[in-house]
Homo-oligomer: A and B are copies of this chain.
Amino acid sequence: MSMEDLLDKPLTPWMTGGGINGDIVLSSRIRLARNLEGVPFPNRADATRLTDIVTQVRESVGDLKKTDKHEYMFVEMEKLSPLERQILVEKHIISPNLAGEPTNRALIVRDDAAVSIMINEEDHLRIQCLVPGLDLKSASDLANDVDDIIEAKHCFAYNEQVGYLTACPTNVGTGLRASVMVHLPALVLARQISRVMSAATQLGFTVRGLYGEGTEAIGNIFQFSNQLTLGHSEQEIIENLQAVAQQVVEQERSARQALLTGSAEALADRVWRAYGVLCYARIISGQEALTLLSEVRLGIDSGIITGVPATIFNELLVTSRPNFLQKIACRAYTDPVERDRLRAQLIREKFKEERKNA
């Protein structure tokens, strides 16, 4: 997948995989924060230093290619248009921060987008690995491989007592953030989600919504991640989050089972209505689209809706985001209604296509 494909195609390859508990866990993610020894953190480094860091890290692209069957691409943030950068944000490849201030910043990304390395974000390096389903171990193994390859050539800022040094104290130690993105429509419908969220918070995990501000979870998608890294080993963090996510998956499964047993008809009515609206609406907001898509996905996962692939959810999740829509339309929107119209049209056409194929 070329850079153009990464920007144009709604589904990055890692999204189509399914993976372990892939009907509930959309992705597992590991992020490592690393800094070069003896170089000021990006927020204290001048332009020359920053350019120097980009140049240094870029040298690792060749090493990464050598040890992997995948291609790696290097791109300076300033070479991309603001729209292209926003699409990378919507696809979870880069952070909003990197997109917002592109000067002297760069990205190394694997052709399937499963590995991305942001250069000169908050830290000199932010290594991110994404795998489908609930599999933090695989994501972690991948991140460690990448980490090792880069560390072979570069010296990272490391302190024997505290571990990796990072720009923000919350990342000091392992520099690790592990997270899982889960789709929990049944727990939301059954109003059990706040209980689940507060339990996870008490265990030291952060729960946030996808694209949402704070705890607002559009499309019933939640991100569980570790709060702290200091004082915990990498293995501990990963195992704990994996265990919590496993429990959340089981609770979502029981909630789905309970819905199917106790209110199968109401559930069928709900998911089919969502399907009907997505098939025919002419104007649809991003938030409504995600809510309805979530319900349709629940319908597919529960066997209520057949003949529609579950990936329609993952695909439209990206396609219906504002910047991606703008890219498809090849122009900026002056009117938000126009965007809602294009979103409805895209969704409608996608569903029509799937109905034809079914």
Further 7 A-B residue pairs, CB within 8 A, beyond A269-B282, A273-B282: A265-B282, A265-B337, A265-B341, A273-B280, A273-B281, A276-B278, A279-B279
A275 interfacial by beta-carbon distance below 8 Å: yes
**How far in angstroms is the closest Cβ of chain B from A274?**
9
**How far in angstroms is the closest Cβ of chain B from A345?**
11
In the complex, chain B residues whose CB is within 8 Å of the CB of A265: 282-283, 337, 341
A199 interfacial by beta-carbon distance below 8 Å: no
Binary CB contact string for chain A from 266 to 291 against chain B (1 if under 8 A, 0 otherwise): 10110011011111111100000000
**How far in angstroms is the closest Cβ of chain B from A172?**
51
In the complex, chain B residues whose CB is within 8 Å of the CB of A119: none
Binary CB contact string for chain A from 256 to 267 against chain B (1 if under 8 A, 0 otherwise): 000000000110
- Cβ–Cβ contact B269 & A344, under 8 A: yes
- Cβ–Cβ contact A272 & B268, under 8 A: no
**How far in angstroms is the closest Cβ of chain B from A104?**
44
- Cβ–Cβ contact A272 & B281, under 8 A: yes
- Cβ–Cβ contact B283 & A266, under 8 A: yes
Assembly CA distance A314 to B269 (angstroms): 24
Assembly CA distance A268 to B282 (angstroms): 7
In the complex, chain B residues whose CB is within 8 Å of the CB of A278: 276
Assembly CA distance A277 to B266 (angstroms): 14
In the complex, chain B residues whose CB is within 8 Å of the CB of A272: 280-282
- Cβ–Cβ contact A276 & B280, under 8 A: yes
Binary CB contact string for chain A from 339 to 354 against chain B (1 if under 8 A, 0 otherwise): 0010010000000000
Minimal Cβ-Cβ distance residue in B for A267: B282
A-B contact list, 21 entries, CB within 8 Å: A265-B282, A265-B283, A265-B337, A265-B341, A268-B282, A269-B281, A269-B283, A269-B344, A272-B281, A272-B282, A273-B276, A273-B277, A273-B280, A275-B280, A276-B276, A276-B278, A276-B279, A276-B280, A277-B277, A279-B279, A279-B280
Assembly CA distance A344 to B272 (angstroms): 11
